[in-house]
Structure 1
Amino acid sequence: MSKLPILMYHNICQCENESNKLTISARNLEEQLRFLKDNNYRTFHFGELEKMQVIPRKSIVLTFDDVTENQLIYAVPLLEKFNLKASFFIPFSYIGKIDLWNENSKFPGEKIMTMDQLKCLNSDKIELGYHSFGHKKYSSLSALEIENDFLKCEEVMTKNNLKVFPVLAYPYGNYPRENKEKAEFKSVIVENKMKFGLKIGNRPNYFPFKDQYEIKRISIEGHDSLMIFRLKIRWGKLRLF
């Protein structure tokens, strides 16, 4: 088995002083991606991992939640520049709108990409995945509500002929933890043909995955130095930071 770190990003900003837990500056993101390129890391889409039993040394997966417009402005050109791949996760109800699930946040709302912008992304570099329809915590929803959430996602995809790989990033990394509810939840996502489900966990995975519906991601935060970034890739998020 091989270690496979999966990194989780959210917003990208132009100025360093706008950085916070969920927002990294374009400069820091570029420094991190350059490190990956210069050190011969290989990036993969989940659609590729599905077909693999063995991964090369220094494999890594880059993920971006929420398909915000700032990701289009800053992250996409950097991925092209360094010839790296990433997976972007769509909250379908908010396409072309604002991230209203953060309406009580002290931070200003972020624009979500429009359908046209999503369809224009280079699929060789960007793989689209699911981030639910309503961006609600799955643990607060019944099995029927989760099923309806999937149906609404499918309606949007079918109506707009949008190609999305069946990998699901759980909003807030949240899903039911009690045995019965957890089993029902996994049953629903299997019935909806999801190949992978992503939580947080903040540790590298071992590949092949032990449980394809509890894949861990490592949160990359705005104030992480390059040294912390390198430590996170190797060990995950340690208590000292």
Structure 2
Amino acid sequence: MSKLPILMYHNVCQRESESNKLTISAENLEKQFQYLIDNDFKTLHFAALENLESVPEKSIVLTFDDVTENQLTYVVPLLEKFNLKASFFIPFHFIGKTDLWNNNSEDAEQKIMNIEQLKELPKALIELGYHSYEHKKYRLLTASEIENDFLKCEEFIKNNDLHVYRALAYPYGNYPKERDQKANFKNILVKNKIKFGLKIGNRPNTFPFKDNYEIKRIDIKGKDSLLVFRLKIKFGKLKLF
């Protein structure tokens, strides 16, 4: 079995002084990407993982939640500069609006990309995925509400002619965990042809995944030093940080 760390990012800002838990500065993100290049890491899309039985040594997956405009401003040019691949996860109801679900966030209100911006993203580097329709915690929704959320996602994708791969990043990393509810939730994912479901977990995965609907992501925080970044890739989140 291979080791596969999957990194989770959110917002990107111009200055280090603006960084916080969910927001990394463009300068530090560039240092992290440079480290990946210097150490021969290979970035992968989930669509490629679907047909693999193993991954090359030093494989890694980069994920960015919420498709904020700051990702368009800062992340896309860095991906192009370093020729790195990443997956961007869309909360469909908020396309062209702002991150209204984040009303208690320490970040200022962030604009979400519009349809035209999403369609213009470089497809060779950026894979689009699902981040639910309304960015609500799945654990707090009924089965019918979850089904309806998927229906709204599909309707939006079809009406706007978007190409979205069937990988789903759970909002807040949250999903039903009680035995019966979890089984029902996973049945809904299968019914809706979701290939991969991503929680948090803060540990590197083994590949092939033990459970395609409980894939772990490592939370990269805005204040993480390059040393912490390197340790997270190798070990995940440690009690030291």
Same fold by TM-score, threshold 0.5 exceeded? yes
Q: Distance in 2 between matches of 1:47 and 1:105?
A: 32
The equivalent of 1:225 in structure 2 is 225
- Within a 5 Å distance, the mapping from 1:204-219 to structure 2 comes to 204-219=204-219
- What is the distance in 1 between the residues matched to 2:142 and 2:176? 10
1:132 corresponding residue in structure 2: 132
Which ranges in structure 1 are unaligned for 5 or more consecutive residues?
Answer: none
C-alpha distance in 2, partners of 1:106/1:41?
32
How far did residue 2 of structure 1 move? 0.8
How far off its partner does 1:114 sit? Answer: 0.3
- State the Cα distance separating 1:105 from its structure 2 match: 2.7
Aligned to 1:49: 49
Q: Runs of 4 or more off by more than 2 Å in structure 1? A: 104-107
Q: Which 5+ residue runs of structure 2 have no aligned equivalent?
A: none
Distance 1:179 1:211 in 2: 15
Counterpart Cα distance in 2 of 1:105 and 1:167: 25
SS in structure 1 opposite 2:89? strand
**Offset at 1:107?**
2.6
Determine the structure 2 residue equivalent to 1:190.
190
What SS does the corresponding residue of 1:36 show, helix, strand or coil? helix
Instruction: Give me the whole-angstrom Cα distance separating, in 1, the residues matched to 2:202 and 2:142.
Output: 27
| Coordinate RMSD, CA, aligned | 0.5
Query: Residue 197 of structure 1: CA displacement?
Result: 0.1
Which whole-Å CA distance do the structure 2 matches of 1:106 and 1:122 have between them? Answer: 30
Q: In the alignment, which residue of structure 1 is the partner of 2:15?
A: 15
CA distance in 2, matches of 1:98, 1:39: 36
Query: Which residue identity is paired with 2:46?
Result: F
- CA pair 83-106 structure 1, distance change in 2 beyond 3 A: closer
Matched with 2:31 is 31
Aligned equivalents of 1:120, 1:196: Cα separation in 2:
25
Question: Which secondary structure does the structure 2 equivalent of 1:63 belong to?
Answer: strand
TM-score in terms of structure 2 length:
0.99
Distance 2:104 2:203 in 1: 29
Alpha-carbon distance change, 233 to 106 in structure 1, aligned in 2, over 3 angstroms: closer
Shift of 1:156: 0.7
Match of 2:179 in 1: 179
Q: Which whole-Å CA distance do the structure 1 matches of 2:162 and 2:181 have between them?
A: 31
Identity value in percent: 69
TM-score between the two structures when normalised by the length of structure 1: 0.99
In structure 1, C-alpha distance between the alignment counterparts of 2:5 and 2:171, rounded to whole Å: 19
Query: Residue 197 of structure 1: SS of its match in structure 2?
Result: strand
